[in-house]
Every structure is written in C-alpha cells, then in structure tokens.
Amino acid sequence: MAERPTRLVLVRHGESNVTVNRVIGGFRSCSGLSELGRQQADRLRDRLAGTGELDADVLIASNFQRAIETAEAIAPVFDDLSIVIEAGFGEHDPGPDIDGMTFDAYIDRYGSPDWTDPDADVFPGGETIGTFHARVGDALGRAIDEHRGRSIVIACHGGVIDAAFRHLLRAPITGGFELHTLNTSVTEFVSTDHGAWRLRRYNDVAHLHGLPSETPRVTSTAP
C-alpha cells in the first residue's frame, strides 16, 4: 500500500510592525503584527473556518513574534492545536548588531547588499544566505521526517518560503527565479510516491480581497 502523502503548508506571517517601521527585524527585535497584519491573519482564519480546505496534524511557528501571532490566529481552525515553536523556521538572522537597525541606517553603514552570492557577508555577525538556507533545509527535513504522511502547517516568513522552494524543488540557492511572497499567503506542497515534491499552490491570498495592500511605511527622519 502506498504511503499517505505528506502535506506541507507554509503560511507567511501577517504584516509586521518592523516592516511598517522600516526596521530589520530579527527575532530579537520583532514586536509582532501590525493592526493590518492582525486583520490579515483573522481573514485567513475566517476563510479556513468557512471552507475547511486545510486540516493540520501539527501546527508549527518560527520563534519570531509575528509568526507566533499568526499561528495563534489560525489555531482555532485546527481545534486549537498546540503551537510547536521551531527556531529553524525563523527568517534570515541579521545578527545581534544589525537586528533592530533601520533600513536607512543599514544602507548608510554597509551599502546595498549583494543577494546573488550565497557566501557574501551581507549581515556582519549574522547569517550568510548559504547558512540560512542550510538551517531552513535542516528544519524542513526534521519536520518532514517526524510527521511523514501527515499535514504540516508552518507559520513562517517570506525568506523561509523562498528557501523551501529551492530545497524541495532542488533549485539553486540564488538566481533562477525570484519570489514575492505576500503576507498571510498560503503555499502548499505535497509529496509524491517517487520522492519528489509537487507544488499545489503558491501565494494564495484570496482572503485579503478588499484590504489595503500595506500600511503606509514610516519615512526617514534623516535631514
């Protein structure tokens, strides 16, 4: 008898305060969802409750407050499953010196980052793209091995979803394609009986119809 497919559902968190404030928000400085971000997460919860399109055997969130709050918002749909916090699904870590720095201050100090080189030191004291992708790949591998044949829902981040694409579809770490994953979007993969993964949907945000696309960003106060 064929093994039951593993269903992997990646939900990007709602809009965050650090994005609105134009801050590089790692897990140390993350202050959770903006008001719009909470509305987005509630919209997703209401959609899932109405359609019954997703089930979950396990609900995972990264250790960032914005991901945890998103998981908390949708947990009632899954009979209030306990949320498993897994730091491996956290966004690209800028390190302690840059975490909480404004984008403007970062550019002034370090210049525009080179996202094409997986070994570039874009965040001095933090992760390279290569180490970030390796971490996410390890977290994915552990979750899939532990919950094989089950439905896994993970509240995470745009960079994590990009890394998951490249890991599961065996694409290069950088280049080849570029993703723009929207807040509270649903991305779904399902395993196949020959060991590959099938992309079932990407960037599904039907529940956001009628909401503004974003909160107006804080502008620079520099002279």
In CATH, what number is assigned to the domain containing residue 78?
Answer: 3.40.50.1240
Alpha helices in 52-195, H assignment, sequence order: 65-74, 103-110, 129-146, 158-168
Number of domains in the chain: 1
Q: For residue range 187-206, list pLDDT tens digits in order.
A: 999 999 998 999 999 999 99
Q: For residue range 112-147, list pLDDT tens digits in order.
A: 999 999 999 999 999 999 999 999 999 999 999 999
In a domain, residue 197? The reply is yes
**Torsion over CA of 79, 60, 12 and 189, rounded to 10 degrees?**
-90
In a domain, residue 173? The reply is yes
Q: For residue range 28-65, list pLDDT tens digits in order.
A: 999 999 999 999 999 999 999 999 999 999 999 999 99
* Strand pairing class (197-204; 186-191): antiparallel
In a domain, residue 26? The reply is yes
Tokens, residue 66: 């914005």
The model's pTM is 0.96
In a domain, residue 130? The reply is yes
In a domain, residue 215? The reply is no
The domain containing residue 193 runs over which residues?
7-205
In a domain, residue 221? The reply is no
In a domain, residue 223? The reply is no
In a domain, residue 220? The reply is no
